[in-house]
Amino acid sequence: MDKYLLNNILSAGLMVFCFHISFLAQTQSIQADPTFDVDGIVALDYLPDFVPNKQIIQSDGKILIAGYGLNDLNFFDGMLYRLNVDGSLDVGFGVSGFVRVDIDGTHDNIVGIAELSDHKIIVVVESNHRTILLRLLPNGDFDPDFGNDGLILGVSTSDEISSSMVLQADQKVLVTSSQLISGKHRGVVRRYNTDGSLDTSFGTNGKVILVIDPSKNFELNTCVLQPDGKLLFTGLYGTVANSGFPVVRLNADGSYDDTFSSDGIYVYDSNNPNYPAEAYCLLVDNNTGNIYVGGASSQGAEQMMTILGLKPNGTVNFTFGSFGLAQMGFGTYAQLRKLTFQQDGKLLAGGFAYINGSQTALAYARFNSNGSVDNSFGTLGKYGTLLNIPYEVQVVNDINMTWDGRLVALAWLNKYINLGAPNNPATCYVLRYILDITSKVSTPSQVFLSPGLFPNPVAAGEVLSISYSLENETDVFICLFDINGRQLSVLQSSSSKSAGNHIDKVRLPEYLPKGHYFILLSSDKGEKVLKFQMH
C-alpha cells in the first residue's frame, strides 16, 4: 500500500460460511460469489507481505493483479498474478500463474499495468527511484521485441517516484510520478511511444511538471484519459496536511487546458486542516463529460467517503449530491480508494472504514447517478465487512465491474494498526461479489421491446441509433462492451424515458478497431444486450 494510506491509518484515531462477516446488516444487494473459488475469495500469497496496487480485467475476463512482495533477501520484488474467471491461478501465465520482477536486486514495485490491443501487457515498475517499462507477451514471458529483452529504462531522476500509468488509444503510455523540486513535491507526467522511447511531442521533450501552487506539495495519485484525448490528474495537495481535491486537465499535447476552470486547474479546498480532504481516484462519464473525484473529506468531526462532481468545464456540478458533494460516513473515519460505474449508471465506491476505534474494515458505498445515496445497497447505501483473518488493517484498494455485473475487489490486509511494528505481515486477497444487478445483466429481459441498431455495420466515430419501446416510464443507461465483455465506454448516462417508442443516438469512440461489439441497454427493471459490427 502506498505511504499516504499508511500515514492515514497510523494517524486516524467470525467468518460465516467460510467467507466474511459484515459489521453492517447484509442484504441481497451484495453477497459473496460462490462461483469464484467456491467462497468468493482468493489469497495471493506466493511472496510474503504482498501489497497490491492495481487490478485489471483483461479482454478474456481473466484478472491481472500487480504490486510487490518481500523476497528472501528482504527486498521487495514486483509481482504480477493472473486469475482465471473462476478464481483459479492461470498456470499458463508466467511461472504457475505469476510473474516476478527483480530488476537488479533492489526494491521493485509494479505501479501500472495495461493490456495492449494485441493482448500483450505493458508494465510500469518503480525500481529504486527509476521508471522501468516492461512489455510481456500474453503468456507472461518478456517480449524480446521490446527494448532489452522486454525491458526499457525510462527517464527519471534520483528524487522521483513513479505512481501510476495510463494507456492511450494509440497505445502510447503515460507515466505519472512525484518529484522533489526546490523542497516541494511536484507532479510529473511523461509520455512514451510504443517502442518505449520518450515522446518529445508531449510537453517539453516528453515531460510536463504539474504545479498548482509553488508553495504547496502536489503528489500525483492517478491519471484518466478522456475520449477526446485530454488528460485528467489528481493526487494529494496541500502544505503540511493534505487539504483539497485537486484536478488538473491537459490537452493531448501536454499543454494546460484553459477551457477547464479557465487555467486547467481546479481545487476543492475543505478549509479544515484537522480533517483534510484527500483525493485518490478519478472517473469520467464518457457521454456527458462529467467528472467525479473520489477520496475523503470531513463533515463535522467525521472523515467520510467523498465524491466531488465536476462539469466538463471544471466547475462544480451543483446538481450532484449536496452542492456537488456526495458523502458516506461509517462512524469515525472512512476513505474512498476507488470509484467505478455499475452497468445501470450508479456509482460504486470501495475503500476502508474504522470500526471500534481499533480496526479498519473493507468498506463499500453506492450512490445514484445524481449523487444521492442508494439506500437499496447494503444498509442505507453502505456495506462494511471483515475477512475472518486476525489482521487489524483491511482495505479495499481497487474495484472493477465484470461484463455480467459482478464486483471484483482487491483487498490488502496488515496484521497490526501499528504498521511500523516488527513482524507485521501483510497479505492480499481478491474478492468477487454478486450484486443486485448481476442477474439482470445476465438474464434476458422484456423491458426493452423491439430493440434495434442502425446502421449496422457502423464505422468508428459515427453515430449509432438505438431503437426500442418501453411499456412503462424508466431510466435508461447505455454502455459499450467489446466482444469479450470488457466495458469500454458509458455512451449514455441514466436518462428518464417515458413509455412508448424511442431512438437514442450515441456517438461511438473514434479509436475503436474493426470487430464485433455489444450495446447494453440497462434500467432498474431489466437489461437488453445488442450486438453490432464495426467496419
Q: Write b or e for each residue in 385-396: b if 16 or more Cβ atoms lie within 10 A of its Cβ, otherwise e.
A: bbbebebbbbbb
Res 344: pLDDT: 82
Question: Is the domain covering 3-440 a CATH 1.10.8.640 domain?
Answer: no
Cα–Cα nearest to 285, from 484, 438, 477, 520:
477
Euclidean distance between CA atoms 235 and 245, whole angstroms:
7
Check residue 375 and give its pLDDT. Answer: 95
Burial code (b: 16+ CB inside 10 Å, e: under 16) for 19-48 equals bbebbbebeebbbbbeebbebbbbebeebe
Give the contacts of 351 (CB within 8 A, at least 6 positions apart). Answer: 296, 305, 334, 335, 336, 337, 338, 363, 364, 395, 396
The whole-number pLDDT of residue 312 equals 96
Write the single-letter amino acid at 492: Q
Q: What is the pLDDT of residue 432?
A: 97
Residue 138: what pLDDT? 95
DSSP H/E element including 226:
none
Q: Which pTM does this prediction carry?
A: 0.82
Euclidean distance between CA atoms 177 and 222, whole angstroms: 9
Give the pLDDT score at 209.
95
What's the per-residue H, E or C state across 71-140?
A: CCCCCEEEEEEEECCCCCECCCCEECCEEEECCCCCCEEEEEEEECCCCCEEEEEEECCCEEEEEECCCC
CA-closest candidate to residue 27, choices 524, 436, 365, 525: 436
Q: According to the model, what pLDDT value does residue 446 have?
A: 66
- Please tell me the distance from the alpha carbon of residue 23 to that of residue 356, in angstroms, as a whole number: 10
Per the CB < 8 A criterion, the answer to whether 393 and 413 are in contact is yes
SS3 333: strand
H helices present in 374-478, as ranges: 438-442
Sign of CA dihedral 97, 103, 106, 109: negative
Domain coordinates in residue numbering, the chain: 3-440, 444-534
Element (DSSP H or E) covering residue 271: none
Distances (CA, A) of 97 to 29, 36, 80, 139, 140: 32, 16, 8, 9, 9
The DSSP code sequence of 288-323 is T--EEEEEEEEETTEEEEEEEEE-TTSSB-TTTTBT
Question: Cell digits for 390?
Answer: 486476525
**201 with 168: CB under 8 angstroms?**
no
The whole-number pLDDT of residue 20 equals: 52
SS3 call for 522? strand
Q: Is 438 helix (H, G, I), strand (E, B) or coil?
A: helix
Q: How far apart are CA 290 and CA 500, in angstroms?
A: 28
Q: Which is the CATH superfamily of the domain at 444-534?
A: Macroglobulin (MG2) domain (2.60.40.1930)
What pLDDT is attached to residue 3? 45
Question: Could you report the average pLDDT of every consecutive run of 10 residues in the chain (535 residues)?
Answer: 47 35 64 92 88 90 93 89 95 95 91 91 93 96 95 87 91 93 91 96 96 89 91 84 84 97 91 76 89 91 93 96 95 94 91 87 96 95 92 95 90 85 84 87 69 89 91 88 73 85 90 81 80 84
For residue 378, give the H/E element and its range: none
Q: Is the peptide bond before 214 cis (omega within 30 degrees of 0)?
A: no
Whether residue 123 contacts residue 111, with contact meaning beta carbons closer than 8 Å, is answered with no
